[in-house]
Chains A and B, each alone.
Chain A
């Protein structure tokens, strides 16, 4: 309990610092609720080290334990018991579980995840349980067996699946994100390729090998394709890569420069095309057919993002009034509404619940202006906003996680860029991918 109070004090201090830093914009609000830190107590949970069920399970079990711990800690809905506070025992079955070890201070866990990991031939098998420590008679709330290939990735996958199951059960019924992927741009040797990684930064690998400059990866809602734009002899054009066939597939060019694709949750594409000589937002089907134009104004219109909840609205960036600003409109181009009131606003992403926009904003932009570009979240209904980053460098390209509790973004630019993630209230910032990583895009699921 002492520890909890201390945590609260630290949090309050952090809030005070944030408020001080954003004092210039105090009409910005402190009550934009993004689904984390909403005042409800986080559930205190312990992730016990699993019991090694066979002699050769050692390194896989270490991977599994640390991935499960990190997944639960990253989730943003748990108060996770520090490993150093945990009891020495490693119960492998419900029969070996002694709940009083886990309820007593300083552990004070409301729930315990435990079980065993064993290697059987070329498979790794995990028996996992979660107990409610306050229900001595019927403590078990989860009991599952998982089997995957006998390698590091198999152990990771099981940990992610178990974490997602626990988050779904205990985190308000919202599915976890531990099995989701992040696609991003990786610069190196004068080219930029599309890369993919797990949500926690592990398993990063190249997807494309086009030896040109590819930007703005956006994965389709069913995780079967990546749309992106790529520099060819006719400038930047929309390209499509099939994750099922593991090769590029054709996508028609309508002429001009074609940029910044965005998937709707039912598989339509919106992107910026300058086929008329002026960049405007167009909508096509997933194969590029039936193109229709939905904006009509002089100046750049770019970076569309669909409302994933309804699929009937698009947010985008437009320079129609000078510096780029965030706008929203209906998907047929009607009801255009400007959201930002000035500065330089780019790279908008629409939250999964449809209520928020995340974007990069330099509120004091201009030659010699002291402004920094940071990530902001705006509640659409009220246009109230909060600033999520400050003082960590130039931030850009926020992208919401499928559960709406996290935002991945780029820090720095060009060869110095890195991909970071944070909770949607700005806490828990940490790096996922190192130098040369840019333009992250979080998968739909």
Chain B
């Protein structure tokens, strides 16, 4: 699998197109094509290729990254750092990674990408795959996401929680998920239902980005119509500002 810049190609294509256009003007013999100065010879644009072998590994294995560049003065790979103009290196990614190489030269920059897929082994699941875990097990593994005041963006704790949930869900592909969006009792009922929808969808989006199929996830906003905690204090309100994960049985 090779990914190569097409800069050189496009220059050639442009030149050929120009020639074709000029050739089309041949009927008027008396009007020679106007003189145009040939473009100053540009510094040759760099090219870059990046491959990895093997492209798919199990967790813990390493891959060999190999890259070739031309007309480059400096080369760097995201996550690896500055590297030689051509070379190889061993990497051991812990999850699927998009390696991105940037070659910079006098003629511009070129980049190349290569995706290495890491197969995360499924944790042993007791019983057959159709068995669903009980709610206590599920909630221990898939924590609810709590939100800041009047916000539907995930905070750092929320990101951690959704990553943990995604890992579990990726290991238990038989589980379908119901995400409930909840708000505290302050604020207006209609607006809170819309806000709860945004909260549940923020959690869903984070799971989908972490590899959980969107078709496994259903979202329901309860606004402030179903409260976990009914006292009027901040710790209670925080309890109610959440996206709750449940098994969609």
* Chain B positions 178 through 221: 1 when the CB is less than 8 Å from some CB of chain A, otherwise 0: 00000001011111011101100100110000000000001111
B193 touches A236 (CB 8 A): yes
B197 touches A439 (CB 8 A): no
A302 touches B198 (CB 8 A): no
Q: Which of B185, B190, B198, B218 has the most CB of A within 10 A?
A: B190
B190 touches A260 (CB 8 A): yes
* Chain B positions 206 through 249: 1 when the CB is less than 8 Å from some CB of chain A, otherwise 0: 00000000000011111101000000001000000000000000
A contact residues around B187 at 8 Å (CB): 344, 346
**B150 CB within 8 Å of chain A:** yes
With beta carbons under 8 angstroms apart, the residue of A192, A231, A274, A302 that contacts B190 is A302
Q: Which of B188, B218, B223 has the most CB of A within 10 A?
A: B188
A contact residues around B222 at 8 Å (CB): 231, 235
B contact residues around A260 at 8 Å (CB): 190, 193
Within 8 A of B (CB), among A360-377: 360, 366-367, 373
A367 touches B194 (CB 8 A): no
A324 touches B191 (CB 8 A): yes
B193 touches A257 (CB 8 A): yes
A contact residues around B193 at 8 Å (CB): 215, 229, 236, 257, 259-260, 302
With beta carbons under 8 angstroms apart, the residue of A236, A299, A367, A373 that contacts B198 is A299
Q: How far is the CA of A231 from the CA of B149 in the complex (A)?
A: 25
Q: How far is the CA of A346 from the CA of B194 in the complex (A)?
A: 12
**A303 CB within 8 Å of chain B:** yes
With beta carbons under 8 angstroms apart, the residue of A213, A256, A322 that contacts B197 is A256
Q: How far is the CA of A277 from the CA of B197 in the complex (A)?
A: 8
B contact residues around A235 at 8 Å (CB): 219-222
B contact residues around A278 at 8 Å (CB): 198, 201
B contact residues around A213 at 8 Å (CB): 225
A277 touches B201 (CB 8 A): yes
Question: Which partner residue on chain B sits nearest A216 by CB separation?
Answer: B190
Assign chain B's interface to a size class. Answer: 20 to 34
* Chain A positions 340 through 369: 1 when the CB is less than 8 Å from some CB of chain B, otherwise 0: 000010110000000000001000001100
A contact residues around B191 at 8 Å (CB): 300, 302-303, 317, 319, 324, 346-347
Q: Please give the distance in Å from A322's CB to the nearest CB on chain B.
A: 8
Q: How far is the CA of A303 from the CA of B191 in the complex (A)?
A: 7
Q: Please give the distance in Å from B164's CB to the nearest CB on chain A.
A: 23
B190 touches A215 (CB 8 A): yes
Q: Please give the distance in Å from A342's CB to the nearest CB on chain B.
A: 13
**A396 CB within 8 Å of chain B:** yes
Assign chain A's interface to a size class. Answer: 35 or more
**A301 CB within 8 Å of chain B:** yes
B contact residues around A157 at 8 Å (CB): none
B190 touches A257 (CB 8 A): no
- Chain A contact surface mostly: strand
Q: Which of A192, A274, A317, A323 has the most CB of B within 10 A?
A: A274
With beta carbons under 8 angstroms apart, the residue of B188, B201, B218, B234 that contacts A324 is B188
Q: Please give the distance in Å from A239's CB to the nearest CB on chain B.
A: 14
**B152 CB within 8 Å of chain A:** yes
A-B contact count (CB 8 A): 98
Q: Please give the distance in Å from B53's CB to the nearest CB on chain A.
A: 39
A231 touches B197 (CB 8 A): no
Q: How far is the CA of A344 from the CA of B219 in the complex (A)?
A: 26
B220 touches A257 (CB 8 A): yes
Question: Which partner residue on chain B sits nearest A235 by CB separation?
Answer: B220
**A41 CB within 8 Å of chain B:** no
B152 touches A299 (CB 8 A): yes
Q: How far is the CA of A317 from the CA of B195 in the complex (A)?
A: 11
Question: Which partner residue on chain A sits nearest B194 by CB separation?
Answer: A300
A279 touches B149 (CB 8 A): no
**A153 CB within 8 Å of chain B:** no
Question: Which partner residue on chain A sits nearest B223 by CB separation?
Answer: A236
B contact residues around A272 at 8 Å (CB): 190, 194
Q: How far is the CA of A413 from the CA of B224 in the complex (A)?
A: 11
Asked, given contacts A235-B219, A257-B221, whether A367 binds B190 with beta carbons under 8 Å apart, the answer is no
**A428 CB within 8 Å of chain B:** no
Question: Which partner residue on chain B sits nearest A300 by CB separation?
Answer: B194
A274 touches B201 (CB 8 A): yes
**A96 CB within 8 Å of chain B:** no
Asked, given contacts A213-B225, A231-B225, A367-B149, whether A279 binds B198 with beta carbons under 8 Å apart, the answer is yes
Asked, given contacts A231-B225, A236-B221, whether A346 binds B185 with beta carbons under 8 Å apart, the answer is no
Q: Please give the distance in Å from A349's CB to the nearest CB on chain B.
A: 12
B contact residues around A289 at 8 Å (CB): none
B150 touches A323 (CB 8 A): yes
B149 touches A274 (CB 8 A): no
Q: How far is the CA of A300 from the CA of B191 in the complex (A)?
A: 7
Question: Which partner residue on chain B sits nearest A236 by CB separation?
Answer: B193
Question: Which partner residue on chain B sits nearest A301 by CB separation?
Answer: B194
B185 touches A257 (CB 8 A): no
**A252 CB within 8 Å of chain B:** no
A319 touches B188 (CB 8 A): no
A contact residues around B152 at 8 Å (CB): 299-300
B contact residues around A256 at 8 Å (CB): 197, 219
Q: Please give the distance in Å from B102's CB to the nearest CB on chain A.
A: 31
B188 touches A279 (CB 8 A): no
B contact residues around A322 at 8 Å (CB): 150
Q: Please give the distance in Å from B126's CB to the nearest CB on chain A.
A: 29
Q: How far is the CA of A40 from the CA of B241 in the complex (A)?
A: 50
**A414 CB within 8 Å of chain B:** yes
Question: Which partner residue on chain A sits nearest B230 by CB separation?
Answer: A414
Q: Please give the distance in Å from B150's CB to the nearest CB on chain A.
A: 6
A279 touches B190 (CB 8 A): no
The 10 residue pairs across chains A and B that have the minimum distance between CB atoms:
A300-B194, A346-B188, A235-B220, A302-B194, A279-B194, A274-B197, A260-B190, A257-B197, A257-B221, A303-B190
For the complex with contacts A300-B198, A347-B191, 10 further pairs of A-B residues with Cβ separation under 8 Å are: A231-B222, A235-B219, A235-B222, A257-B194, A274-B198, A299-B152, A300-B195, A303-B191, A324-B188, A397-B188
B→A interface (CB under 8 Å): 149-150, 152, 185, 187-191, 193-195, 197-198, 201, 204-205, 218-223, 225, 234
> Could you show 16 A-B contacts with beta carbons less than 8 Å apart?
A235-B219, A236-B193, A257-B194, A260-B190, A274-B194, A274-B197, A278-B201, A279-B197, A300-B198, A302-B194, A317-B190, A319-B194, A323-B150, A367-B234, A396-B189, A438-B189
